[in-house]
């Protein structure tokens, strides 16, 4: 491979088994946040082969597919994993079973870079950016001696700067996104290993047939809240991901997102970024998940993509510099008082908070900004039971990812609840009105018991009757 010659110098090309050798018992290993598409699997397979030799290694597997390789029977004393954004089924099942080998940290991922090396943050820095061994997937070194992080930058650069040993797993099938912070000199690496493309994975699940109509109506209501010239953040979850076709009649939209970017809207001239006052003409991201080979080709070498370090791209102060920033996210549950949960339903975990809190905050601080949470009014559990997504309280032991003070607009197929600045009783009324009719009576009764919904309410500017 020609890139091996270009990587000659301080960074040596070695095989994956040799790259895994520096890991010692008690070490801390960080696998870069890079999506399962860009997980350094060759390194992790080599590390997994050493399970019998190692004890008490800690491994950060946030937003990667590494856990599926590492969490095998017999590795319980070899290592423990932690994640701020779990992805694999192995992690979900272990967390639900309260396995001590797998841990979840409720944290905004951009904090990894933002708090690194700050006063009183030594333990934090060590955990997230002070790895003994840091491994990340990269493109081959260029003729000028630089690599890029493919489609996923996240916190890689700050994690590299603080790590004792840095390993780059090289894949020559990755696109090169030339804009923003997506680069690093090859000399910043200690070793390079050859990587390989993972098996094709489906990141965007199809809409269940029984949800298609409700999902479409919810998307249509959401689209009505987005205006020509707005800059849109597309979060994870079914409604944000399925929203794009409902925006095709809009003009000159911008996009400042974390990782979800509807390329079709850019191809069709809907997303132009012409009206953006922050980074005009460009889409702001910290990562990107191509849905197809065509999208991968479209983004390769595309100068209109501005890939920034996560602690920049996802910082509310940076996000808020966009005028008319509309953050569209998906909750798992919303309480009658406007608390929003997006991490777990009862004992079952669903990845993590991701950038949702940061974009909600940034949107509310943006001039003309809005925060929208879209969800269909009921979901079917694995048991077959239909349950409401608007609840009197989170399914135990649920938790609020976004406190009620930051709740703005909640959308279901039954309409829009506008919560910002509303009283507890008003919030309950608004949310019951967009809940599924089958659940409204019990929600109404819960609100009556909790806040006296149905009693006389006097509001500013009104007279009691």
Q: Are strands 333-335 and 415-418 parallel, antiparallel or unpaired?
A: unpaired
Buried b / exposed e along 291-324 (16+ C-beta atoms within 10 A): eeeebbebbbebeebbbbbbbbbbbbebbbbbbb
State the burial class of residue 438 (Cβ atoms within 10 Å of its Cβ: 0-12, 13-18, 19+): exposed
178 burial (CB, 10 Å; 0-12 / 13-18 / 19+) is: middle
E-assigned strand segments in 53-188 = 57-60, 79-83, 102-104, 133-138, 146-147, 165-170, 184-185
**Helices H, strands E: what count in the chain?**
17, 25
* DSSP letter assigned to residue 93: H
Residues 6+ apart with CB under 8 A from 429: 447, 453
Q: Are strands 340-341 and 333-335 parallel, antiparallel or unpaired?
A: antiparallel
Give dist(CA 363, CA 367) in Å, integer.
8
Helix (H, G, I), strand (E, B) or coil at 140: coil
**Which tokens is 345 given?**
């339903």
3-class state of residue 118 by DSSP: coil
Please answer whether residues 136 and 34 qualify as being in contact, where contact means their C-beta atoms are separated by less than 8 angstroms.
yes
Which amino acids are annotated catalytic? Answer: 258
CA distance 427 to 465: 21
């Amino acid at each position: 491979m020609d890139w091996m010659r270009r990587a000659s110098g301080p960074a040596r090309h070695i095989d994956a088994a040799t790259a895994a050798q520096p890991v010692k018992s008690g070490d801390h290993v960080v696998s870069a946040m890079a999506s399962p598409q860009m997980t350094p699997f060759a390194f992790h397979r080599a590390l997994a082969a050493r399970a019998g030799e190692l004890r008490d290694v800690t491994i950060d597997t946030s937003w990667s597919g590494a856990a599926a390789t590492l969490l095998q029977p017999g590795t319980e004393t070899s290592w423990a994993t932690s994640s701020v954004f779990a992805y694999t089924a192995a992690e979900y099942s272990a967390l639900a079973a309260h396995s001590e080998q797998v841990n979840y940290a409720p944290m905004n991922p951009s904090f990894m870079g933002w708090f690194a090396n700050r006063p009183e943050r030594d333990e934090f820095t060590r955990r997230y950016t002070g790895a003994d061994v840091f491994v990340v997937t990269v493109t081959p070194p260029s003729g000028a001696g630089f690599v890029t992080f493919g489609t996923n930058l996240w916190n890689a650069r700050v994690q590299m700067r603080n790590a004792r040993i840095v390993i780059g797993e090289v894949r020559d099938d990755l696109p090169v996104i030339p804009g923003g912070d997506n680069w690093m000199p090859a000399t910043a690496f200690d070793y390079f290993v050859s990587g390989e493309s993972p098996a094709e994975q489906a990141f965007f699940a199809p809409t269940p047939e029984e949800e298609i109509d409700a999902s479409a109506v919810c998307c249509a209501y959401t689209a009505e809240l987005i205006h020509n010239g707005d800059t849109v953040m597309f979060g994870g979850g079914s409604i944000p991901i399925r929203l794009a076709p409902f925006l095709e009649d809009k003009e000159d939209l911008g996009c400042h997102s974390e990782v979800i970017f509807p390329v079709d809207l850019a191809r069709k001239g809907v997303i132009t970024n012409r009206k953006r006052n922050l980074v005009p003409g460009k889409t702001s991201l910290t990562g990107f998940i191509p849905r197809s080979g065509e999208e991968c080709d479209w983004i390769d070498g595309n100068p209109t993509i501005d890939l920034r370090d996560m602690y920049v791209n996802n910082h509310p102060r940076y996000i808020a510099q966009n005028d008319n920033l509309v953050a569209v996210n998906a909750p798992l549950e919303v309480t009658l008082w406007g608390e929003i949960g997006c991490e777990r339903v009862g004992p079952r975990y669903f990845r993590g908070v991701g950038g949702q809190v940061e974009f909600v905050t940034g949107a509310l601080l943006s001039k003309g900004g809005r925060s929208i949470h879209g969800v269909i009014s009921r979901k079917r559990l694995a048991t077959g039971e239909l349950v409401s997504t608007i609840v009197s309280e989170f399914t135990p032991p649920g938790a609020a990812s976004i406190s009620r003070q930051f709740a703005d607009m909640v959308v279901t197929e039954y309409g829009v609840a506008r919560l910002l600045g509303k009283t507890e009783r008003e919030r309950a009324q608004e949310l019951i009105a967009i809940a599924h009719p089958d659940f409204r009576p019990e929600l109404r009764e819960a609100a009556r018991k909790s806040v006296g919904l149905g009693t006389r309410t006097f509001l500013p500017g009104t007279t009691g009757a």
